[in-house]
Structure 1
Amino acid sequence: MLASPAMLVIEALIPTGISAMPALSTAQPDPIPDVAAIAENAATPEPLDILEQINLYSQADLETGPLEQINSVGELSDVSPTDWAFQAVSALAERHQCLLGYGDGTYRGNRAMTRYEFAASLNACLIQIQERIEDLNALSPEELESIRRLQEEFAAELATLRGRVDALEVRAAELEANQFSPTTKLSGEVLMAPIDAFGDRSETIGGGEDTELSFGYQMRLVFDSSLTGRDRLRARLQSINVARLDNTTGTLMSRLGFDGESENETLLERLEYRFAVTDNLRVWLAGTGVSHDHLMTVTNPLFESSGSGALSRFARRNPAVFRQPGGAGVGVEYSFGEWATLYGAYLAENANTPTSKNGLFDGSYSATAQLTATPVENLEVSVTYSNSYFPGGEVNLSGGTGSGNARRPFTNDVATSSNNLGLQASFAFAPVTVSGWAGWSLAEAQVSDGDVNSGDSATLFNWALNVGVPDLVKEGSVLGFIIGQPPKVISNDVSGREDPDTSLHFEALFKYPITERINITPGFFVITNPDHNSDNNTVWVGTMRTQFTF
């Protein structure tokens, strides 16, 4: 006997032009953010497409958060039994189970609501009504008439909400069907650059050939996977063909920050896995190609990147501590809240080779610790200590950035250990960011050979000061100026291995975003007294790096 009246009620609830309501369900509607601020700031806007309005309010980001289901009026901090509408609010929550409030536990009943907020609340009530529709005695004729009028008044908004959900379901199904992987994200970067070096050469350093204009590229594909939601497995493939200018200029100081050669082959250049042990502790397992800047901050935010930072190799990070041997090993990061972070790492350059002068502990390695602090807003300071070791014939103490003596402080390239200290700082005060560092290395010969005695020591020093002006002419742009002294041997127990003069590094660049994913960075750097020797003539290096990201 109830079938016919029930059908009449259902038909009454579905206005003309709206598809049938979904099947009976106990599911609650998706929370809808409040956009009162948007409505209040729009004085007399031109009519917008309904879907466009839905997009606006659904993307609003308000501190109060989205609307949420309220099961009891007692959950609301701003509703009391003395309020004149207390009974109505209580009935919505406890009798009809369709009251929506804000995430901060307030109802804010004294403010106006948007039509979309009302549509969301009405939709929640309609869902509850569907569950009770079979029992007509649960609804009075007045309630049914109110429902009919509300359904007709907000038919467009309700239809748009349902259409939006349907569209999202279709889009989600499409993404699932065509996604690269359910656990892996693919990203990439391509660099292209014309490169040239200028200036007369000298016989006191190697090379001496004129540098011809060349064109180089670097391509990287990055695969980031998460297996637990609190970890990241990263594999990076690289193909690169950017000439090392030291082969023609004769000085490592002329190297670019993105040079290298792989003979156009694509190789696994980096592999690492990191995971969270606790909320404050994170651990890295490095498989290959991992360096210190991958594990810890280098406190040079505007210029550390090879694709969008400094053009030169030297100006990207403090070589005394961040150019020590890398490769495979382990790293840890412990956070002391927002004000300080402690890092530690042990990396070996040829860990996968089980022969003499290789492996985890017999080949080149570095053990590094760093404390980074942010004592005040926009100021970051870090102190880094590193102990490194190089077997005979493989010494590269300055990481390919300083003089020949700084690279190998002792004759005959004897086995060398080094204790390294770096001090770094960065301070941002609108519109300028200033950063810089100072680095010391105390090298010690480990064997006696010729004029070198075991225990002989040498001291290296380098420094840099960087000034950057971000967002100067366009958001994302950076105007940068860098001055510094590449690694120099300032004292040595071995005669003739001190650097006699001082080289200075001057660099200027301007990164300009053509689009969101294309940047160009024209710039140059100048090396005076290359290799810290005034007999060598000034070297100029110019390039225009173009970065594509995807």
Structure 2
Amino acid sequence: MTKRFWNLFKVSPVLVAAAFFAANSALAAEVNEQVTNVAQLSESQDSNNIGQVTSVSQFSDVQPTDWAFQALQSLVERYGCIAGYPNSTYRGNRALTRYEFAAGLNACLDRVNELIATATADLVSKQDLATLQRLQEEYSAELATLRGRVDGLEARTAELEANQFSTTTKLVGEGIFAVSDVFGGDRAVNAGNPTEDLNYNTTFSDRVRLNLYSSFTGTDQLQIRLNAGNIVSNAGTAATATAPASGTGTNMTRLGFDGDTGNSVAIDKINYAFNFTDAVRVKVDASGGELYENVNTFNPDFASSGRGALSRYGRFSPIYRQGQNGAGLTVTFNPNSAISLTGAYLAPSTGNGVFGANNPGLNNGLFNGDNTIFGQLTFKPNKAFNIGLTYARSYFAGNAANSLFQGTGSAFANNPFGVGTRTESNNYGIQATFQLSSALAISGWGGYTTADARAGVNAGADADLWYWAGSLALKDFGGEGNVLGVIFGQPPKVTGGSIKNVATNVNLDDDTSYHLEGLYKFKLSDNIQVTPGVLVIFNPEHNDANDTIYVGTLRTTFTF
């Protein structure tokens, strides 16, 4: 029995429930892929906008070829017992089958029975009753099959309704298991020659996220996320009086999904999105707000932390890490048109409650502490090409946990004036995606940042920074849903400014690092993806005295 059969006739309310649970399964397969703009919502609403049609002849693709059609047409027009589509089409390419016709007949039988049960039988003529009897006899086999299937659906729906999580909330989960190892000669240093061996053990770690998505109007979304993991940063820690140095010594080797909470569960994200008007989408982040989750990052095949690039830098441009882990507001204008505009304000936090929008103390709060003002203009003339111009003005007031690129790039690029220095920056970016064919896509970004020290020993100094990258995605390579990817670029680097001239022997970015990543996303099923890959960092920390570092990773992602 086809989908068109169920869409054409309102045989039973149980069909609505069945569609609801099918949609739940589809959502679980696309974890963290939220409805983020008015265009998506409009398309969703249009596809479900089913109205009432009260004449068989209104179905433009149904052919009135025999007496049964004429008889049913007459019944429908008198009793209004068939539901169709407001554009007067059946949305098919053939005439009705006997089963589909029987569904319409069943609807009319139910309507007549309803009239009889409510003591309005005088509204039903004897001629109509005779016509119904003749139709029922001719289509008795189809009606019996139809009712049997409806009974089965009702029983199944009753079971699902009794065990459903919530009528307004969907639970969407993601679990990551990762095996990783690092190879190389020495541990990277910012400047000079390395002196410590790169000793690294193979790790096996995990990250689990549970998202609760609630909708109260059908076009809004409340997200509450629980997070737990034990994936430590490959960069490691510096040597102390009680412990030797660990890790690679550079954030350039970080994985895109790292984060260590000791597997303690915490609510790390709360936000609410809604349509202010048909052309304006608003998102309010109370905790854990990220620009890269609120706007288009122009790297669709590799942006996701669980299903995208393996590395941190390979996911998207560092400009989207401004205001990371913040609270604030994001507004998107005209997302349905070829040109759209997004504006945002975020007050970032360390995530431990000491700094950020939730703290009224000095150099904190929603407006007086660390903050980012963001704007992005997007131009999408067609589905194959998409380009964006981005600007972000960021300020951090001496918070040691924040930096220019939130741990992406060299140590000098993240803190050119020293860790914890009050800094203001202007960030400019251009990003684009080009879908060359259904099987081949390229994406890329470039960025320029000017930073100024507002306090400390380097007060008044400035720095210029550049970064760029490009990615290639071969889709359905080796099987449907698989993606072979290559990412190459230069992580953020200090290229000029007064700080580069005066910072003799301290964190100089005199050379150039290159980021090369190869990965293969293998789709075992709709809910399981396995991604092996290798990350290679040439001249780590923009210092050619450092050895090349290799990071091998096997990530398995489960979604449910």
Q: Which has the larger radius of gyration?
A: 1
Structure 2 equivalent of residue 161 of structure 1:
146
CA RMSD of aligned residues (A): 3.4
Structure 1 equivalent of residue 521 of structure 2:
511
Match status 1:126 vs 2:109: yes
- Give the letter aligned to residue 515 of structure 1: S
- Give the letter aligned to residue 225 of structure 1: S
Q: How many residues in Structure 1 have an aligned counterpart in Structure 2?
A: 486
Going from structure 1 to structure 2, the CA distance change for 1:153 and 1:198 (only over 3 Å counts) comes to: same
Larger displacement relative to structure 2 (256-265 or 119-128): 119-128
Choose which of 385, 394, 414 in structure 2 pairs with 1:388.
394
Q: Deviations over 1:110-165 (max 9, x none)?
A: 9743102321232244345443695599325xx66654443233122212323333
CA distance in 2, matches of 1:86, 1:548: 51
Partner-residue secondary structure (3-state), 1:164: helix
Preserved CA contact (<8 Å) 2:177 2:556: yes
Match status 1:370 vs 2:354: no
Structure 2 equivalent of residue 11 of structure 1:
none
Larger displacement relative to structure 2 (201-210 or 516-525): 201-210
Match status 1:224 vs 2:232: no
Preserved CA contact (<8 Å) 2:8 2:83: no
Matches within 5 A, 1:85-484: 91-92=74-75, 94-95=77-78, 103-105=86-88, 112-130=95-113, 131=115, 134=121, 138-140=125-127, 147-202=132-187, 204-205=189-190, 208-247=197-236, 248-349=247-348, 350-394=356-400, 395-411=402-418, 413-430=420-437, 431-449=439-457, 452-454=458-460, 456-484=461-489
Partner-residue secondary structure (3-state), 1:401: coil
Match status 1:70 vs 2:54: yes
CA distance in 1, matches of 2:60, 2:558: 52
CA distance in 1, matches of 2:121, 2:540: 90
For residue 209 of structure 1, report the CA deviation from its aligned partner: 4.0
Partner-residue secondary structure (3-state), 2:366: helix
Preserved CA contact (<8 Å) 1:321 1:420: no
For residue 173 of structure 1, report the CA deviation from its aligned partner: 2.9
CA distance in 1, matches of 2:386, 2:336: 14
Partner-residue secondary structure (3-state), 2:367: helix
Larger displacement relative to structure 2 (370-379 or 231-240): 370-379
Going from structure 1 to structure 2, the CA distance change for 1:351 and 1:489 (only over 3 Å counts) comes to: same
CA distance in 2, matches of 1:352, 1:168: 50
- Give the letter aligned to residue 435 of structure 1: S
Structure 1 equivalent of residue 39 of structure 2:
none
Structure 1 equivalent of residue 556 of structure 2:
546
- Give the letter aligned to residue 168 of structure 1: L
Percent identity, please.
Answer: 44
Partner-residue secondary structure (3-state), 2:142: helix
CA distance in 1, matches of 2:467, 2:543: 15
Query: Any unmatched runs of 5+ in structure 1?
Result: 1-29, 36-54
Preserved CA contact (<8 Å) 1:507 1:523: yes
Partner-residue secondary structure (3-state), 1:233: strand
Preserved CA contact (<8 Å) 1:235 1:271: yes
Structure 1 equivalent of residue 30 of structure 2:
none
Matches within 5 A, 1:485-504: 485-494=490-499, 495-496=502-503, 498-504=508-514
For residue 176 of structure 1, report the CA deviation from its aligned partner: 2.7
Partner-residue secondary structure (3-state), 1:246: coil
Preserved CA contact (<8 Å) 2:323 2:346: no
TM-score, normalising length: structure 1: 0.80
Partner-residue secondary structure (3-state), 2:308: coil
CA distance in 1, matches of 2:88, 2:59: 5
Going from structure 1 to structure 2, the CA distance change for 1:66 and 1:401 (only over 3 Å counts) comes to: closer
CA distance in 2, matches of 1:458, 1:356: 27
Structure 2 equivalent of residue 23 of structure 1:
none
Going from structure 1 to structure 2, the CA distance change for 1:543 and 1:94 (only over 3 Å counts) comes to: closer
- Give the letter aligned to residue 434 of structure 1: I
- Give the letter aligned to residue 144 of structure 2: A
- Give the letter aligned to residue 376 of structure 2: Q
Q: Deviations over 1:360-407 (max 9, x none)?
A: 233322111111221223111111100001122525112211111101
Q: Deviations over 1:163-191 (max 9, x none)?
A: 33333333333333222122211111110
CA distance in 1, matches of 2:357, 2:123: 77
For residue 101 of structure 1, report the CA deviation from its aligned partner: 6.8
Query: Any unmatched runs of 5+ in structure 2?
Result: 10-17, 23-46, 237-246, 349-355
CA distance in 2, matches of 1:411, 1:211: 28
Preserved CA contact (<8 Å) 2:271 2:283: yes
CA distance in 1, matches of 2:387, 2:123: 71
CA distance in 2, matches of 1:146, 1:85: 9
Matches within 5 A, 1:38-57: none
CA distance in 1, matches of 2:366, 2:94: 67
TM-score, normalising length: structure 2: 0.79
For residue 95 of structure 1, report the CA deviation from its aligned partner: 4.8
Preserved CA contact (<8 Å) 2:186 2:546: yes
- Give the letter aligned to residue 113 of structure 1: L
For residue 475 of structure 1, report the CA deviation from its aligned partner: 1.6
- Give the letter aligned to residue 339 of structure 1: A
CA distance in 2, matches of 1:126, 1:438: 66
Partner-residue secondary structure (3-state), 2:443: strand
